[in-house]
């Protein structure tokens, strides 16, 4: 009962173009949503956008900018790119090259950080994260959930115990079950 489209971003895995970590490459995701919705068997109001890791930036941008999104899932997701720059010393060089310097190009970091414009997302949000994620700290999830709670926004936070950034096969199956269950609840 589900249709899934999982594209690679431009500049990734041999795709043409340049990965901008949520810059103009976001329009590729918007086009993918439009393409999916053009299929006769797709009900556009049931569109749920799922973003994993840095893909959560793209999913949240789509939830903000595309009409009739039914919900968004932030899975092990980056919600504050400035926090990523602070925590991930190993990514700083790449972030400076792709996004810019976090002081000189601060607006570019804020534009890619859903936590700074969460009030513009008007759909239910499921936040899924592990307390042992070594790539994206749990702080991304808890701060996003706190901000949504403060604003009275519809969201759910599920914290998985002891999983790395990429879940074990058993926990991955459990997480997909949680996601499907949530998607069915928000439709009613």
Active-site amino acid positions: 53, 165
| Through-space distance between the first and last CA atoms of the chain, rounded to whole angstroms | 16
| Exposure of 9 in the CB half-sphere (CA atoms within 13 A) | 18
Q: Residue 125: phi, psi to the nearest 5?
A: -125, 130
Spell out the alpha helix ranges (H) of the chain.
26-37, 55-65, 81-87, 92-98, 106-111, 138-150, 169-187
Question: What CA–CA distance (Å, rounded) separates 99 from 20?
Answer: 7
Contact 135, 76 (CB under 8 A): yes
Query: Residue 122: helix, strand or coil by DSSP?
Result: coil
Bridge-based pairing state of the strands 71-75 and 125-130? parallel
């Amino acid at each position: 009962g589900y249709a899934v489209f999982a594209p690679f971003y431009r500049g990734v895995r041999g795709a043409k173009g340049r990965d901008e970590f949520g810059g103009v490459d976001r329009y590729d995701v918007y086009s993918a949503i439009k393409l999916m919705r053009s299929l006769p068997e797709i009900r556009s109001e049931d569109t749920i956008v799922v973003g994993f890791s840095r893909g959560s930036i793209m999913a949240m941008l789509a939830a903000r900018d595309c009409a009739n999104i039914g919900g968004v899932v932030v899975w092990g997701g980056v919600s504050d790119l400035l926090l990523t720059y602070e925590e991930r010393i190993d990514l700083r060089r790449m972030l400076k090259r792709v996004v810019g310097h976090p002081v000189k190009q601060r607006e570019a970091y804020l534009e890619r950080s859903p936590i700074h414009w969460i009030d513009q997302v008007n759909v239910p949000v499921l936040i899924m994260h592990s307390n042992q994620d070594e790539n994206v700290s749990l702080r991304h999830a808890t701060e996003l959930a706190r901000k949504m709670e403060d604003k009275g926004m519809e969201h759910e936070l599920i914290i998985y115990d002891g999983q790395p950034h990429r879940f074990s096969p058993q926990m991955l199956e459990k997480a997909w079950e949680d996601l499907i269950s949530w998607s069915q609840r928000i439709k009613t």
